[in-house]
Amino acid sequence: MFPTTLEAIRSTTSKRTAYISGILALLAVAIVFKAVWLARLGLGHGRDLVDFNAFYITAKLVWLGTVDQAYQFAKLIVIQREVSGGRDGFMPWTYPPQFSLLLAPFALIPVGIAYLLFVASTLTLYLAVLRRLAGDNFVLVLIVFFPTIGITLACGQNSLLTAALIGMVCLFFQERPILAGTALGLMIIKPHLAIAFAVYAVLRRSWIVVMTAAAVVLISSAICTAVFGVEIWSAFLQSVRDSSVFLEHGNYPMHRMISIYAALRTAGLSASAAFVAQGVAAVLALAVVLIAAYRPMPARERFGLVAIVSVCISPYAYDYDFLIFSVGLALLLPALLASAREWERGIIYALPIPIGAFGYLQAMQMASSYNGEQALSTFSIGGFAIIPLIALIVGIVLLRSSGTEAVSEPTVRCASA
């Protein structure tokens, strides 16, 4: 009954419009509330830093000419502690310099307004791309991923932007490869989430996409070098090395991560064993990319498969990064609606919900109790849930949908393609 009830929402234009309007209104309220909270105008309790605070701090450092301090954990801890009024929480900065430069303009305005502009613009882009991909299924995808969008807004993360960029790669890959390559190149802000599509582009010999993406990375790197100096790259690489030690020692909030590495670590396995399992998961994910590249199937199914496995290659993926999965589901829904049984669709719709919801509840628990050790001892729900979810979807698409399809649109041009 659950999938049937959920799918009934998309049956008429009036129902879709009503639900979409309601969801967008809730998201707007959440954005305004968080902007006020960040502006410290009296709403909310507690002032622990959220991710957007880390973005804003780095943007300020850009203008001060000391952005290299964002990559030096010992110095960044002191800066974040001062901003948070003495809180002990710490958010390492491991983003490539391109993202630091992208954030710089936001430091010129108050933090509340900066958050409002950043989140509202990236949310608008994400929703526009998702609507193009999902068509009549747009409201269905919104409901399933509403908790994940919620946790993204709550912490002010950039996953709305990265999901939109991946969606643009899917939209423009065949007909506008320069645009697709540009979007893929801009994923340098979170390169570990773009590995699957980079491999897919090479396997498909889409050289315009590959060369455009490479050009974007090289040009943006040259700009960063000119602005920050060549030493910014050694600082960045050192932060990456330091973060790998953090990850190995379990110092990240792995209950919020969605990788098999995080799942096994929170279950008590050693770092080495969890890394081996993560390696196996990455190999299997790339095998799906290989199948998608060479097996005859509709374009939207190719891109959908690549999108859903792109989040399980790296051990470093959070619940908000799961939004990329919404891009894959939007593309695959026509095939799933046609081929999946009702109980299978129920699982596909149900499993993404606790991934975002659990992350949100855990984030609120940590903010209110200041008991990081208690939160870190919990299981990675997302890490355990995402494996059967991907396995089920991949199995349905590869074993039923593509093999029985008669006619398919060759390009992802619009929602009904």
The rounded distance, in Å, linking the Cα atoms of 382 and 323 is 12
pLDDT value at residue 247: 81
pLDDT value at residue 405: 43
Asked whether residue 413 is domain-assigned, the answer is: no
Angle at 119 (CA atoms; ends 114, 121), nearest 5 degrees: 95
Q: Which residues of the chain have pLDDT under 50?
A: 43-46, 369-377, 403-411, 413-417
Asked whether residue 148 is domain-assigned, the answer is: yes
Asked whether residue 417 is domain-assigned, the answer is: no
pLDDT value at residue 363: 62
pLDDT value at residue 366: 55
Asked whether residue 199 is domain-assigned, the answer is: yes
pLDDT value at residue 90: 80
Asked whether residue 272 is domain-assigned, the answer is: yes
Asked whether residue 51 is domain-assigned, the answer is: yes
pLDDT value at residue 26: 95
DSSP E strands, 152-252: none
Q: What's the gap between Cα 94 and its chain centre?
A: 16
The rounded distance, in Å, linking the Cα atoms of 400 and 9 is 26
| Cβ contact 160:320 at 8 Å | no
Residue 343 belongs to domain spanning: 2-404
pLDDT value at residue 355: 85
Q: For 148-196, how does the pLDDT look when each residue is reduced to its tens digit (9 = 90+)?
A: 999 999 999 999 999 999 999 999 999 999 999 999 999 999 999 999 9
Asked whether residue 55 is domain-assigned, the answer is: yes
| Token pair 């996953």: residue | 159
Residues 6+ apart with CB under 8 A from 381: 255, 354, 355, 358
Decide: helix, strand or coil at residue 93.
Answer: coil
Number of separate domains in the chain: 1
Asked whether residue 312 is domain-assigned, the answer is: yes
What's the predicted TM-score (pTM) here? 0.91
Estimate the crossing angle of helix 381-396 against helix 299-309, to 10 degrees. 160
